[in-house]
């Protein structure tokens, strides 16, 4: 069985580049007792094993080798870039420098998919939310890779039905990614960013 090539998908892929909700650089959390916080300066995704990151993600639910016809499913990766900031940076002429205690260690993240039409039943309209673990200490700037779309999600409803042009043909969501961590004195910190993810059985 070979993958069907849908002309409409090519147009949709081009439209993604101009989408208004392409990505969010993050909502920085200034609440809590920590003296520092994280700014999520970039949030990108890469389809399967492509290694090419973009501010929008065209997630392929099924990969088919055009030569052998072999089918495979691959997780999609995300990449987040953080910058450390102080709640009290001090005078503009002589700003305070972060101390070692201000460094923030990120240990966990949460991904939730939502649709703009309000159809958000997990396992029916959108993939299930999930949690993952990371380990990154940000003292100035830092970058971390993580799983944005799990392999399991492509083997379950509603994504599984998209294979070979089935189901709704494509599903567009906003992936809300929240990273959790703490400063070096144990005070909690979190930051959230958004990235547009369109699922389909893309050609190739």
- Does a structural domain hold residue 160? yes
For residue 122, pLDDT beyond 80: yes
- Does a structural domain hold residue 93? no
Q: Give the lowest-confidence range in 6-15, 98-107, 191-200.
A: 6-15
For residue 6, pLDDT beyond 80: no
For residue 183, pLDDT beyond 90: yes
- Binned at pLDDT 50, 70 and 90, residue 120 comes out as very high
- Binned at pLDDT 50, 70 and 90, residue 204 comes out as low
Which residues, in sequence order, are CB contacts of 57 under 8 Å at separation 6+? 44, 45, 46, 47, 76, 148, 149, 175, 195, 196, 197, 198
* Number of residues assigned to the chain: 204
- Does a structural domain hold residue 77? yes
- Does a structural domain hold residue 94? no
Range of the domain at 134: 7-88+99-200
Q: What pLDDT does 14 receive?
A: 40
Higher pLDDT, 77 or 87: 77
Q: What integer is the mean pLDDT of 177-201?
A: 96
Q: What integer is the mean pLDDT of 97-126?
A: 95
Find residue 174's DSSP bridge partners.
114, 196
**Count of domains for the chain:** 1
The pTM of this model reads: 0.82
Say if CB 131 and CB 178 are below 8 A apart: no
- Does a structural domain hold residue 68? yes
For residue 179, pLDDT beyond 60: yes
- Binned at pLDDT 50, 70 and 90, residue 12 comes out as very low
- Does a structural domain hold residue 2? no
Cα 10 from Cα 17, distance rounded (Å): 12
- Does a structural domain hold residue 141? yes
What is the CA 35 to chain-centroid distance, rounded? 27
Report the CATH number at residue 26. 2.70.50
- Does a structural domain hold residue 168? yes
């Amino acid at each position: 069985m070979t993958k069907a090539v849908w002309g409409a998908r090519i147009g949709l892929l081009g439209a993604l580049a101009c989408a208004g909700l392409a990505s969010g650089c993050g909502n920085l959390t200034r609440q809590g007792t920590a003296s520092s916080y994280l700014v999520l300066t970039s949030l990108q995704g890469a389809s399967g094993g492509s290694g090419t990151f973009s501010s929008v993600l065209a997630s392929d639910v099924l990969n088919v080798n055009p030569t052998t016809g072999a089918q495979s499913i691959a997780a999609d990766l995300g990449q987040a870039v953080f910058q450390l900031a102080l709640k009290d940076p001090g005078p503009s002429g002589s700003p305070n420098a972060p101390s070692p205690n201000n460094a923030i260690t990120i240990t966990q993240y949460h991904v939730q998919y939502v649709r703009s039409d309000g159809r958000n039943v997990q396992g029916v309209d959108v993939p299930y939310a999930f949690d993952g673990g990371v380990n990154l200490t940000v003292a100035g700037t830092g970058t971390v890779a993580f799983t944005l779309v799990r392999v399991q999600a492509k083997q379950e409803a509603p994504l599984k039905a998209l294979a070979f042009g089935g189901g709704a043909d494509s599903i567009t969501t906003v992936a809300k990614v929240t990273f959790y961590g703490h400063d070096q004195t144990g005070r909690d910190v979190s930051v959230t960013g958004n990235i547009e993810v369109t699922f389909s059985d893309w050609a190739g």
